[in-house]
Chain A
Amino acid sequence: MDTTPVVTPRPPGPSQPGRSLHRFANPGRFLRISGVALPWVAIIGAVLTAIGFGAGLFLAPADWQQGDAVRMMYVHVPSAWLASGGYFGLAVCSLLSLVWRHPLADLAAAEISTVGAGFTALCLASGSIWGKPMWGAWWVWDARLTSVLVLFFLYLGHVALVRAFDDPTRGYRAGAILALIGVVNLPIIKFSVDWWNTLHQPASIGLTGAPTMHIDMFWPLAVAGFGYIFIFAAIVLTRTRSAVMERRIRGLLSARAERQT
């Protein structure tokens, strides 16, 4: 049972570095700000994703060699971005948790890993459905696919580990360490297609150079990508809000139980 108080008020003292971070650690302030932002984040996410999917399915041209099968890209590629990006968010939360003992980061990390596992599953499933007609195989053990499968297992491991201890703080700590160890997988996923010969093609969109994709295919993909980001954020915010409230209720209940004994 979590008996630690929800907020540990710090004595007002001279301004310390790192205090600015804790300004956002106040769960009450988080609930207020996220409550205002959440509907907008959710609406923007739904609208952008709908536009991206609609344009990808009906407006974007078919590929010269893949035909209409290329439209799987608008589902698959954003989910792959979010699988990696979500893990980066999980790692940032884990760092905040381990170094600064940020109380909200623990709760957010536990929710990001659940949602990230879902997006990674979507990435693997859509990639498989795309791979069968194009490559001729549902699955191959090349470096890209294998490293993304490892990412999926890292997410699942984090989901299980943070909930495996009677004392939640120990679970959060173990989960944070696992998440940070798993960060080595992110560059492996990104560069697997460049370092080794794989069946999966290299990236079409990079920070340098023009995307090797026609603009009519690129913009629906970019819109869907932003839509996915907002949807991911909306789900994580919703789940983190309920986790904060759950923790509050648990604190109140245990406080009442203590008073009664």
Chain B
Amino acid sequence: MTRKRRRLWILVACGLGLGSATALALMAFRDTLVFFIPPSEIASKAPAVGRTFRLGGLVERGSVERVNDNGHPTARFRVTDGAGTVTVNYTGILPDLFREGQGVVALGSMAADGSFRASEVLAKHDETYMPKDVEEALKKTGHWNPDEGKPPPPASTWNTLMPKKPDTSKAGG
């Protein structure tokens, strides 16, 4: 019995030591463990021109320009996090989820003119899973417009919403 208790305490002590060591290590690496840098930190950190990093934020509304550069689809848009904005140039195929107001992560580097030249653009989606008709119902009632780039309303207000039934009577209009 005492042997068991001793083994248990040894394990608890090892666990505490390992846990705190890991926590300290993760705290120390906190800034380098990020997958992307938000635009507001570009100004303060100012990554060197030509150094590759990932930029993450929301695609600013009304900023997307698509041009066809000799058969290569090229897009120019601004990525914002509210506090800062960076212009991104990208030649290539954008993911399906890419649209204004959507979160994106772009891999690339700063150009000399202060814009960001991306070699890869990934779309980020949030943890909200909503049927199309619920989204339309929220839009119609003015509770949420995804194009404004704002997060959806609290889940409890819509996650049991059944818009089909009340909508069939009104849908004619």
Contacts and interface: CB of A to CB of B under 8 A. Distances in A.
B132 A140 contact: no
Nearest to B134: A214
B95 interface: yes
Contacts of A198: 35
Contact of B124 (A62, A63, A199, A213): A199
Contacts of B167: none
A99 B8 contact: yes
B35 A210 contact: no
A95 B12 CA distance: 10
B4 interface: yes
Contacts of B155: 209-213
A73 B125 CA distance: 14
Contacts of B120: 136-137
A65 B133 CA distance: 11
Given A62-B132, A136-B122, A17 B1 contact: yes
Given A99-B11, A181-B18, A218-B159, A201 B126 contact: yes
Interface string A184-198: 100010000001111
Interface string B114-142: 00000011111111111111111000000
B33 interface: yes
A196 B56 CA distance: 12
B15 A180 contact: yes
Given A18-B4, A198-B35, A199-B105, A134 B129 contact: no
Interface in B1-54: 1, 4, 7-8, 11, 14-15, 18-19, 22, 26, 30, 33-36, 38
B156 interface: yes
A204 B128 contact: yes
Contact of A199 (B22, B122, B156): B122
Interface residues of A, number: 48
Most chain A CB within a 10 A radius of its CB, from B33, B35, B95, B125: B35
Contact of B34 (A100, A197, A218): A197
A63 B122 contact: no
A61 B132 contact: yes
B96 A134 contact: yes
A85 interface: no
Interface residues of B, number: 49
Contact of B11 (A134, A180, A201): A180
A206 B126 CA distance: 15
B156 A210 contact: yes
Contacts of A8: none
Contact of A135 (B22, B95, B132, B134): B95
B67 interface: no
Contacts of B133: 61
A213 B97 contact: no
B131 A214 contact: yes
Interface in A192-240: 195-199, 201-204, 209-218
B125 A134 contact: yes
A104 interface: no
Contacts of A44: none
Nearest to A142: B35
**7 residue pairs, one from A and one from B, having the closest CB atoms:** A136-B95, A61-B131, A64-B135, A210-B156, A142-B35, A213-B129, A212-B155
30 contacts: A17-B1, A18-B4, A63-B130, A64-B132, A64-B135, A64-B146, A99-B4, A100-B4, A134-B123, A136-B95, A136-B97, A140-B105, A184-B19, A188-B22, A196-B30, A197-B34, A197-B36, A199-B124, A201-B125, A202-B127, A209-B156, A210-B154, A210-B156, A210-B159, A211-B159, A212-B159, A213-B159, A214-B158, A215-B160, A216-B131
Interface of B: 1, 4, 7-8, 11, 14-15, 18-19, 22, 26, 30, 33-36, 38, 56, 94-97, 105, 120-136, 146, 152, 154-156, 158-161
